[in-house]
Amino acid sequence: MTIRSILVANRGEIAVRIIRAAKALGIHTVQVYSAADRDMLAVKMADAAVEIGPPSAAKSYLNIAAVMKAAIDAGVDAVHPGYGFLSENAAFAKAVTDAGLVFIGPSAQAIQLLGDKVEARKVAKAAGVPTVPGSDGRIDDLDAARIVVAGIGFPVMIKAAAGGGGRGIRIAETMEDFERHFPQASAEALAAFGDGGLYVEKVITRARHVEVQILGDGIDAVHCFERECSLQRRRQKVWEEAPAFRLPDAVRTRLCASAVALAREVKYRGAGTVEYLYDEESGEFYFIEVNTRIQVEHPVTEMVTGIDLVEEMIRIAGGDRLSVRQDKIKVQGHAIECRINAEDPVRGFLPAPGTIEALTVPEGEGIRFDTMLYAGYQVPPFYDSLLGKLIVWGETRESCLNRLRQALQTLEIKGLATTIPLHLALAADPAIASGDVHTRFLEPWLDTAFQSPVPPKEVA
């Protein structure tokens, strides 16, 4: 069907991103918002806006009934969930389609299948994708878990079967650690996802986090190459790049082909990401999970391939076939994304909501700033702290880093603390320049090497 109107079921910078893509396609937009987000940029940009509840996300952005009422009352053709909130909720996707609307993403069945990490591992194995040594299924019993980990060997990672975002995860170095962490992880997973099921994987020492962007139309699938996402704090990505650095061409070819094989196995529709751990020492990679949505870091892929992933999602949801063939997708240059959060890295990443007193955004070739900010905007304390994403492109990684340093020095967000000082320090670090990083690099670096180039503000 032809999509003429879209309800944006999200907030912040991704809502702005979706509205811009929809407008480029001539599509009418309706933005939902909570009582705390009346002055949000996406509300100002959309053709129409509907308040759906109080500030609490559980009573607004996570309230399926409220979002669906807004969509039906507004008479839209389709719903775009963005990332986070309801984007990987199979019940929401089903509610949208049951109402006769188009869900801009994969089917509810695909979300359900790939959203359960245990089931996703089975799909990956069926598609011939290498998986990390671990339990064959969900483990709900500690006694059974002891037997599994004894066969795998320590260290091991305890992970929630449902959900993501680093929640419900514990690393155990010994059996004593494991017995202590197992019930904690189960309780956290139950609280976060309503499902306390767990599974166990072997920890790959000094692993890198590499992910592949996929696009599928339900019949065929392609990849848009890979991203490097190894710089993480508390398993949350901080800085992403495309393409992955120091990745041999033969490994890249196998990695990307395996992601496409998995997408074809489930007849994937829309944009998605297949995530892997890469063992640089052995040259082997292992499947972690599939994110059945657009990713926060999608702009770096857009910068190096020239493909508008959000527009492509909308076209596919409307019934179009893929507009790009695999042999036509090429990588040109290098791109880096820095997540700019309302947090104070000098004070242990303390959340820092507040009013944007002034905003200076770098401009020029190869520079993009995806944000929801404007001067005078009051950043609410109720949601994720992401303010925007600074994305920089260069012909080489070295030139990209040089341009990033200049852009970070220009970017100024007055009125609250941000993670700009962290990114300035990372952009100047020799280990970052050489690519000598892994998923456990950042937290020790913060303790021993982080020197903020910006002095902390005095606290009254």
- Point out the residues that are catalytic: 293
Q: Which residue from 223, 202, 229 is spatially nearest to 338, judged by alpha carbons?
A: 229
Q: Collect all residues with Cβ–Cβ distance below 8 Å to 270 and sequence separation of at least 6.
A: 104, 105, 106, 215, 216, 292, 313, 316, 317
Cα separation values, 200 from 142, 211, 262, Å: 11, 21, 21
Give CA–CA dist 113/450, Å, rounded.
41
Residue 272's H or E segment, with its range, is: strand 269-279
Sheet arrangement for strand 5-8: 48-53, 28-34, 5-8, 78-80, 102-103
136 burial type by CB count under 10 A (0-12 exposed, 13-18 middle, 19+ buried): exposed
| Residues 328 and 260: beta-carbon distance below 8 Å | no
Identify each DSSP E strand in 3-155 by its residue range.
5-8, 28-34, 48-53, 78-80, 102-103
Which DSSP symbol is given to 327? G
d(CA 365, CA 428): 21
Q: How many residues are present in the chain?
A: 460
Q: Which two tokens stand for residue 136?
A: 């064959």
Alpha-helical regions (H) of 276-367: 298-305, 309-317
Q: How far apart are the first and last CA of the chain?
A: 58
Classify each residue of 428-440 as buried b or exposed e, where b means 16 or more C-beta atoms within 10 Å of its C-beta. Answer: ebeebeebebbbe
